[in-house]
Chains A and B, each alone.
Chain A
């Protein structure tokens, strides 16, 4: 069975909400839509206070190269545009909408019918993805259309679809594969057209046998798509690891997947692409797992962007003694510092950790066991990074390849001395990156 070559860990899967079908979360009374919903620059609002908006109407336009359009997930009136705190507590520009009814833009096909035939050509599909504000839903929220604007001289051999869902707890991709099988595959077909690639490989970890079975059955009518079961190991879904697992190719340092002829997308993104290409529906919803060991009402929700997080927390009820709430999975997700915030693109999970497992164990001295090295899927030396980062030796950090760190957290999750390895590595990486940038700026 295929997997990536070195490192990796096996965190407890905890797929507690596996069997819960996706539910649509009810509309809120007031919603707040951030204009920054992707990696890169913020989008520029095109509506003003008092404007009436419909579902799917453009709210903020992407003007920078790496940026994604933001559409209204609701119909109603724009109440105000002001800075609002996101889950970190930092304020970002957001559009507040008073929700009135649920009136959709006429250009959007709101029926449940599956549209199989793809009528758009390559350029039109890319343009549609851009117009609909599709971003990578694996977590990084990179605008998808940018990936398909291939640099001159480069071509794609493979579309790789990440259906590994290697993060513990999260189950939305799994539900998506079971419930929206055909839609996802049509999305993949659209991506094949958009890229000019000959083949698409969907990588699924073998702890999801039902999804593998269902997809294998469904791809019989899609000759260009192949389902590849993968050995369960975290971080299978990381771009570089998935490429290695599926194609055996390795992305050289500082290069992009397209340099080895691959484009990687998440399975949830393919669904969003399907909706955009076939139904002209912009990305206005997020599929989110609400889970936690102590949570009784575990859910897989389809939530409109901009819905207050508080509404969801009130609906499911925060379990007693919750010590930490995480947006995303427990390995790479971010702790929520401000619960008074709103759903954004790519918020794939809300995870409640009990107080007993949320407080970190105090660190003790490094015993040089080398477990961080064994766990690192990039073949790096986290213990060394930590040592160098503490001493601010940025040149040495660069020489030892800190910029290749993918921040998967494998090192820290298995450190017997409970050293906050990833904290220090992230700090060192960020400072080294700044140093490299200023050096390049000096040169040019």
Chain B
């Protein structure tokens, strides 16, 4: 009796299994999506962070675009950089255009000390929302709101809010220059700049108000005095709307402007930031 039951169970289950297998086989045939296997291969070479730095929804989107267009052209994975693009080019038998690596730079120095808080933000920790609510704790309408939308946007764990200054700090080694943080920042404080071999010089302020108004809220604001532009030997600095901007293509990293800025709004940062170290030691 028990033997019969076992045999019966085996037969029944076997038939069910077989039927299901046959059904599955035909269904998978019927609904098969033909896709270029190249897309998978290209996608495998990409970092897979889906950061969106390339302008597509994810890595697969870029892979599809590269394979479908048949050439690389302007398409580029900023996160993977030149080596990734070379690998893809090799795979597809194409030529990759090398581009200088970029890095995110935070153009605000409104630390708790430089730009003391006048009110306390007490809502959802979102720069987007804070931006719609008020000008900022220091009342600088161009300054960092410090809620960390950029931190959330970064897929590479390369940007963090400094607990002391309440400003985001970019990790030089981890930042791949995908630009996700720059895109998400409601005040466009984060800029992608040439990474350079020995560092970069930039104006750490976005304030377009007149000097006095800017200075009122933040002691480290660019007041648009134009001293840097006058003294720059490379003529890399322009002042527009009371705000200096350094063209990184022209900048020679001489750092004349860094020491000359009356409010200390111009910063040098990089892996070998010796002058800055010296300056700190002096203080």
Considering the chains assembled together, what is the distance between the CA atoms of A435 and B221 in angstroms?
34
Instruction: Select one of B122, B129, B141 contacting A91, CB under 8 A.
Output: B141
Q: Which chain A residue shows the least CB distance to B123?
A: A423
Residue contact A85 to B139, C-beta cutoff 8 Å = yes
What are the interface flags for A400-442 relative to B under an 8 Å C-beta threshold, 1 for contact and 0 otherwise? Answer: 0000000000000000000010011011001100000000000
Q: Which chain B residue shows the least CB distance to A420?
A: B124
Q: Does B209 contact A (CB under 8 A)?
A: yes
Task: Sort chain B's interface into a size bin.
Answer: 10 to 19
Among residues 121 to 169 in chain B, which have CB atoms less than 8 Å away from a CB atom of chain A? 122-124, 126, 128-129, 132-136, 139, 141
Considering the chains assembled together, what is the distance between the CA atoms of A88 and B128 in angstroms?
15
Main secondary structure of the interface of B (DSSP, over half): loop
Q: Does B6 contact A (CB under 8 A)?
A: no
Considering the chains assembled together, what is the distance between the CA atoms of A167 and B249 in angstroms?
57
Residue contact B123 to A90, C-beta cutoff 8 Å = no
Residue contact B124 to A424, C-beta cutoff 8 Å = yes
Query: In the assembled complex, how far is the CB of residue B9 from the closest CB belonging to chain A, in whole angstroms?
Result: 42
Residue contact A431 to B134, C-beta cutoff 8 Å = no
Considering the chains assembled together, what is the distance between the CA atoms of A91 and B136 in angstroms?
12
Considering the chains assembled together, what is the distance between the CA atoms of A420 and B136 in angstroms?
19
Q: Does A360 contact B (CB under 8 A)?
A: yes
Residue from A90, A360, A424 having most chain B Cβ neighbours under 10 A: A90
Among residues 323 to 337 in chain A, which have CB atoms less than 8 Å away from a CB atom of chain B? 334-335, 337
Considering the chains assembled together, what is the distance between the CA atoms of A290 and B124 in angstroms?
28
Query: In the assembled complex, how far is the CB of residue B255 from the closest CB belonging to chain A, in whole angstroms?
Result: 33
Residue contact B129 to A423, C-beta cutoff 8 Å = yes
Q: Which chain A residue shows the least CB distance to B119?
A: A337
Among residues 89 to 112 in chain A, which have CB atoms less than 8 Å away from a CB atom of chain B? 89-91
Residue from A359, A423, A431 having most chain B Cβ neighbours under 10 A: A423
Q: Which chain A residue shows the least CB distance to B134?
A: A337
Residue contact A359 to B124, C-beta cutoff 8 Å = no
How many residues of chain A are within 8 Å of chain B by beta carbon?
20
Residue from B124, B133, B209 having most chain A Cβ neighbours under 10 A: B124
Query: In the assembled complex, how far is the CB of residue A65 from the closest CB belonging to chain B, in whole angstroms?
Result: 24
Instruction: Select one of A83, A335, A427 contacting B128, CB under 8 A.
Output: A427
Q: Does A338 contact B (CB under 8 A)?
A: yes
Considering the chains assembled together, what is the distance between the CA atoms of A427 and B124 in angstroms?
10
Considering the chains assembled together, what is the distance between the CA atoms of A359 and B128 in angstroms?
21
Residue contact A89 to B141, C-beta cutoff 8 Å = yes
What are the interface flags for A330-361 relative to B under an 8 Å C-beta threshold, 1 for contact and 0 otherwise? Answer: 00001101100000000000000000001110
Interface residues of A (CB under 8 A from B): 83, 85, 88-91, 334-335, 337-338, 358-360, 420, 423-424, 426-427, 430-431
Ranked 10 nearest A-B pairs via Cβ: A89-B135, A423-B124, A337-B134, A420-B124, A89-B139, A88-B134, A427-B129, A90-B135, A337-B119, A423-B123
Q: List 22 A-B contacts (CB under 8 A).
A: A83-B209, A85-B139, A88-B133, A89-B135, A89-B141, A91-B141, A91-B209, A335-B133, A335-B134, A337-B118, A337-B133, A337-B135, A337-B139, A338-B118, A338-B119, A358-B122, A420-B123, A423-B129, A424-B129, A427-B124, A427-B129, A430-B128
Apart from A88-B135, A337-B134, A430-B132, 5 more pairs, CB < 8 Å: A89-B135, A89-B141, A424-B126, A426-B129, A430-B128
Interface residues of B (CB under 8 A from A): 118-119, 122-124, 126, 128-129, 132-136, 139, 141, 209
